[in-house]
Amino acid sequence: MKLNTVKHNKPAGRLLSAPFLLWETLFIIVPLAMVFYYGLTDRSGAFTLENVAAILGAEHAKALWLSVCLSFVSTLICFLLAYPLAMILANMNVNQHSFIVLIFILPMWMNFLLRTLAWQTLLEKNGVINNILEFLHIPPLNIINTPAAIILGMVYNFLPFMVLPIYNSLVKVDPNVINAARDLGANELQTFFKITFPLTIPGVISGVTMVFVPALTTFVISKLLGGSKILLIGNVIEEEFTQAGNWHLGSGLSIVLMIFIIFNMVISAVFDKNGEGNML
């Protein structure tokens, strides 16, 4: 009987996966293949590496380098802010996992562009923050339209993506393991570096990829907080598609971005085999 059902299940399973597979093939795999096709051909359809090599041009290389630097700094800041926060939240014994997730998802119900724009109001010369600083006799903060404002926007937008996976992996750490380490004489710091941190590496890796990729490729945050003078690689690609209309060049530059993304995927696949560091 058992054997029988298993045999019956197999074709049924394949049939059930059909809509999903069809959808994913048509709307994810084929489109990605098209980016490669456009990126590796010119307008006449002939093969060329010119669009990809265009990244080496002074302006594009500068945009990519700036993107890499800003997203690296933002990812680092997110990590430094998120880890202690996740630890505090995990220790709070709020036995309500969904509540924690909710607090971080909730801001998304106010539009992402508006929330980012609100930082303009907060950061302006005579904005809210500077008024508070003046009141406290602290020198004003003039970071609007600078790379610093873009970093702030990135950290603001992507911090939840760092907190949630780390929080999830921290909650899963077996308290018995911690207790055992303490019983065996490890102090708090040793326990942290030898036990807790290594066990949460899948969460950290997942958080890093979830922050680094959107930060590297954003064109909105730089446009809204960078005063449209600072070009990131995302802005360059976006302009090629919506204004310049050179899809081949835009696709070629996207291929360069995808190399970073694939590198990220491989790393997260190696460190997080069981999807332990998932956000949800």
Residues 41-70 interacting with other proteins (rule: CB under 8 A): none
Residue with Cβ nearer other proteins (91 or 142): 91
Residues 208-267 that bind other proteins (CB under 8 A): 209, 213-214, 216-220, 223-224, 234, 237-238, 241-242, 247, 250-251, 254, 257-258, 261, 264-265
Closest approach, Cβ 58 to other proteins, in A, equals: 22
CA gap 177, 165 in Å, rounded: 20
Size, binding site for other proteins by CB under 8 A: 94
Residues in 82-121 that interact with other proteins by CB under 8 A: 84-85, 88-89, 91, 93, 95, 97-98, 102-121
Pick 202 or 250: Cβ nearer other proteins:
250
Shortest Cβ 53–other proteins spacing (Å): 19
CB closer to other proteins out of 31 and 57: 31
* Stretch near other proteins under the rule CB under 8 A, chosen from 49-57, 58-66, 79-87, 140-148: 79-87
135 binds other proteins (CB under 8 A): no
Applying CB under 8 A, among 31, 57, 140, 245 the residue interacting with other proteins is 31
Whole-angstrom Cα distance, residue 77 to residue 140?
A: 22
**141 part of the interface to other proteins, by CB under 8 A:** no
- Please give the Cα distance from 123 to 237 (Å, whole number): 28
> 130: which residues sit within 8 A by CB, 6+ positions away?
123, 124, 140, 141
80 is a contact residue toward other proteins (CB under 8 A): no
Q: Compare residues 23 and 193 and give the one whose CB is closer to other proteins.
A: 23
Q: Which 142-171 positions form the footprint of other proteins (CB under 8 A)? A: 156, 159-160, 171
Q: Which two tokens stand for residue 38?
A: 């456009």
